[in-house]
Structure 1
Amino acid sequence: MAEALRAVDTGPDLSGLTSVFQPIVDLSTGAVVAHEGLTRGPTGPWRCPERIFADARSAGHLAELDEYCRVLALTTALGSGSASPSTLFLNIEPDGIPFGPPPEEAVAFLRRGGRIVLEFTERALTGDPARLQWFATRLRHVGIAVALDDVGSHPGSLALMAFLRPEVVKLDQRLVQGPLDDEVARVAAAVGAYAEQNEAVVLAEGIETLEHERRARALGATLGQGYRFGRPAALVEAAGPPPRAGTGAPVARPPEPPTRISPLAAVARVRPLHRGSVDEVRLAATMIEQRALTAEGPTVLLASMGPDGIPRGERARRFATVAEHSSLVTLFGVGTALPRGVRGAVLAPDDPLRTEWDVAVVGPHVAAALVARPCSTGEMEYTVVYDRDLVMEVARSLMSRTVPAAGVEMPGA
């Protein structure tokens, strides 16, 4: 951390950074259920930390500075007695995801009965969703919940939200303060559906007036944050035991176990497989991929190549077209020969996905998957799935194979 503090040669003394805390309230009762920890710099132009973070990013020390700010907020909370937040929201930069264990201050905060929610921006989700999914699993193993921040500022993240499965969805203040248009309605519908299916909490930011609060409720929010309820401020030290998290505070969901079987094997446990020709399966794959083109809203398309190998011709053009307006298109086992805008993932030599032809399309308003593999008769055994939970199991199995964390063990693996 000392290197990070020295990285900004012309900046202020970063030891002057302080933490302030903004209340988060239950919109039905007005009770404060959590606080968000925010960083402030010394007086003057460095008061807001954007410039400090920009300089640290350019110097290659953003991750260290980001971690320092989270530890500073935790240390401040731990030393504030009964004024300490019962639940603490903390931010993390998209390119500042650490690989090591949580800091001892986080462990101490959790052990005394507090809760921690780590906030990621939509930019983090769309930039590297597989790594973020992996990191979220690590967090949940130690009891830390996940929030997706600024939802609505980048509609593409709505399709990826189901992979991260955040316990808290934070609506961007534009949805609360701006005009009520079709886009706002679409975001609200997608977030509402996600929250119901995953027992997630919806939190609205930027609430400054009674009208904003009413809009937040109409959008489905149960928690609120903004100047109407309090500005970011220092905690007042007080004697006595710290408060414990109460009703309304988000709880970390149980971590998902590491994926150990292939998508087809997962489906075959609960669905019968049919037999058909390669052409029959190729037609089924085409129809699933077409759903990514015709579905309302952004989608994610994940596919292993099967007997066709590297996509060429019409299929390659279809993947490139989907990539132009989708959140993510990733092909597995194709090396570097990729259509424009499409990402690739290399498979391990013993990965059963090498013998499968799997396609999954997921979005706020669509869920469809094909799983297939060759059998001894020269035919293919396959099935098409539209049940969202089962499609997500297929999609998460595929997504887990894109995690850029070679040599790093998953908890529980």
Structure 2
Amino acid sequence: MAVEPPAGDDFDAVLAARAITVVFQPIVSLDDQRPVGFEALARGPEKSRLFAPDTLFTEAERHDAVTELGWVCATAACAAAFEASLHNAPLFINMDPAMFSTSCPPDLLPVYERALRELNLVLEITERIVENPAALLRSVVTARQAHNRIALDDIGVNPTSISLISVLAPDVIKLDRALTQAPTPSWERTYVINAVLSEAQLTGAAVLCEGIETPEHLQTARAMGATLGQGWLFGRAGPLPHSVDLSAKPLPRVTPYPQAARTPFEAVRDRARMSQMGLPMLASMSAMLEDVALRTDATHLLFATIPATALFDDETRLTHTRIAEHGVAVAVFGPQVPSFYVAGVHAVTLAQDDPAADERSVIAVGSYFAAALIARPSESVHPDAADPQLYDVVLTYDRKLVIEALHTLIDRVPPLISGQ
């Protein structure tokens, strides 16, 4: 007996039947306009109201099924690549951040595991607030261990996503089509472009402009410093070809940040100038960095570690609250951090034997600005010292070193929503 296909307008039936089709759009090098890869774009059943991706994913949100639909779309793209026997061309597949903290559905897992082994994948993380940065970072590390690349999509839609670029160090940074097609320059556009180019220069990431539909858009993309492009000027979405003449300019691979250090102090102690100081001076310097986060737009992320010997006074709570209200994602770590610290601040309780439990640090990261003040009680205090409690302190503005220090803490962060 023949099985009836799912009704095109019934989302639950479409999802259960995995009735998703995938088309592919070329991504090209702007130097020779030859493909460097293809992006997979999902479609619902043809001639149904769910055919358009916007409608399909809006319905998925209504059914609380965005993550499952994301896995269906991703594995459908991988299956199409296997069918076309196109293993050498990089395949960009969209991954909602929530997918990194959930398991692939069992019926789709064999395809995804095979894809991680055999395909040249670029996991394209959609740009939105990330609810679980630790899970996202762990998944990015795992993906890179499987020799896959990472792309950040739609940069420019949400300015707070700029900070995510530094944390994840993507291989490809995709500028949203609104930046490519903007009729007139604006400060917001200039801010995003300069931040992206700064990061690309630091890490070697490729910058891609979306929405290139006319020669004028192409000229704009080149003026913005992009080396890759995507849009109707280079080809509309369609079936994946069985063979392709790839560009002589392959996609870069960014060297990920090392994972050896366990704490911020371990990350910086042998690679930056160290000095000794007492608690009053240390507190004053910490307040200096917190002031940058509070009074300027230079900081998007602020992580602080506070040892058990420190008091969580009202002034500290108020400072962290005001920084969070300023739009900064704030996380505070320590053995005595209350489970409910202050509204808008993410409290992370450390075990007493956690190697980071006795460190004092303030780590601030933004689009251009990065700074870390990291201290640990000194083990070598002169017996005649005026202050018997001195700290070994590193203050660094080396962006790469600051990010490495931040990475040692992010794996301790439970699910959170940043910048509330």
C-alpha deviation, 1:117, in angstroms? 0.6
Equivalent-residue separation in structure 2 for 1:340 and 1:15 (angstroms): 41
> Identity rate of aligned residues, in percent?
33
Equivalent-residue separation in structure 2 for 1:278 and 1:212 (angstroms): 55
- Among 137, 140, 144, the residue aligned to 1:136: 140
1:303-355 residue CA offsets vs partner (Å, 9 max, x unmatched):
01236645433332222222123341111121324233211212233212111
2:269 is the counterpart of 1:268: yes
Cα distance change of structure 1 residues 267 and 111 upon mapping to structure 2, 3 Å threshold: closer
- Which aligned pairs between 1:248-397 and structure 2 lie closer than 5 A? 248-253=249-254, 255-306=256-307, 309=310, 311-333=312-334, 334-375=337-378, 377-397=388-408
Give the match for residue 193 of structure 2: 188
The CA RMSD measured in Å over matched residues stands at 2.8
User: Do the aligned residues in 2 keep the contact of 1:87 with 1:117 (CA within 8 Å)?
Assistant: yes
Cα distance change of structure 1 residues 325 and 231 upon mapping to structure 2, 3 Å threshold: farther
1:82-123 residue CA offsets vs partner (Å, 9 max, x unmatched):
6x77111000123222555894445545655x4211111221
2:169 is the counterpart of 1:153: no
C-alpha deviation, 1:130, in angstroms? 2.7
Equivalent-residue separation in structure 2 for 1:215 and 1:150 (angstroms): 17
Equivalent-residue separation in structure 2 for 1:100 and 1:244 (angstroms): 35
TM-score, normalising length from structure 2? 0.85
2:25 is the counterpart of 1:22: yes
C-alpha deviation, 1:16, in angstroms? 3.5
Give the match for residue 215 of structure 1: 220
Letter in 2 for 1:49: P
C-alpha deviation, 1:62, in angstroms? 3.2
Tell me the secondary structure at the aligned position of residue 326 of structure 1: coil
2:411 is the counterpart of 1:400: yes
Equivalent-residue separation in structure 1 for 2:253 and 2:246 (angstroms): 12
User: Do the aligned residues in 2 keep the contact of 1:20 with 1:235 (CA within 8 Å)?
Assistant: yes
Equivalent-residue separation in structure 1 for 2:226 and 2:279 (angstroms): 48
Letter in 2 for 1:367: A
Letter in 1 for 2:144: R
Tell me the secondary structure at the aligned position of residue 306 of structure 1: coil
Tell me the secondary structure at the aligned position of residue 207 of structure 1: coil
1:118-151 residue CA offsets vs partner (Å, 9 max, x unmatched):
11122144x3333222211111011111111110
User: Do the aligned residues in 1 keep the contact of 2:127 with 2:158 (CA within 8 Å)?
Assistant: yes
C-alpha deviation, 1:230, in angstroms? 1.3
- Which aligned pairs between 1:170-249 and structure 2 lie closer than 5 A? 170-178=174-182, 179-235=184-240, 238=242, 242=243, 247-249=248-250
- Among 19, 31, 34, the residue aligned to 1:31: 34
User: Do the aligned residues in 1 keep the contact of 2:292 with 2:299 (CA within 8 Å)?
Assistant: no
Letter in 2 for 1:390: L
Tell me the secondary structure at the aligned position of residue 355 of structure 1: coil
Letter in 2 for 1:32: P
Letter in 1 for 2:360: W
Cα distance change of structure 1 residues 306 and 286 upon mapping to structure 2, 3 Å threshold: farther
Letter in 2 for 1:177: Q
2:170 is the counterpart of 1:166: yes
Tell me the secondary structure at the aligned position of residue 265 of structure 2: helix
Letter in 1 for 2:392: E
Give the match for residue 408 of structure 1: none
Tell me the secondary structure at the aligned position of residue 48 of structure 2: coil
1:133-181 residue CA offsets vs partner (Å, 9 max, x unmatched):
2211111011111111110111111123101111110001111111311
C-alpha deviation, 1:250, in angstroms? 2.5
C-alpha deviation, 1:25, in angstroms? 1.0
Give the match for residue 123 of structure 1: 128
- Which aligned pairs between 1:92-131 and structure 2 lie closer than 5 A? 92-98=95-101, 100=103, 103-106=109-112, 108-109=114-115, 114-125=119-130, 127-131=131-135
C-alpha deviation, 1:383, in angstroms? 2.6
Equivalent-residue separation in structure 2 for 1:347 and 1:140 (angstroms): 28
Cα distance change of structure 1 residues 374 and 170 upon mapping to structure 2, 3 Å threshold: same
Equivalent-residue separation in structure 1 for 2:20 and 2:308 (angstroms): 57
Give the match for residue 80 of structure 2: 76
C-alpha deviation, 1:243, in angstroms? 5.2
User: Do the aligned residues in 2 keep the contact of 1:141 with 1:254 (CA within 8 Å)?
Assistant: no
Equivalent-residue separation in structure 2 for 1:243 and 1:209 (angstroms): 23
- Which aligned pairs between 1:53-68 and structure 2 lie closer than 5 A? 53-68=57-72
User: Do the aligned residues in 2 keep the contact of 1:168 with 1:201 (CA within 8 Å)?
Assistant: yes
Unaligned runs of 5+ in 1: 406-413
Equivalent-residue separation in structure 1 for 2:295 and 2:85 (angstroms): 55
C-alpha deviation, 1:393, in angstroms? 1.8
Equivalent-residue separation in structure 2 for 1:132 and 1:22 (angstroms): 26
Tell me the secondary structure at the aligned position of residue 360 of structure 2: coil
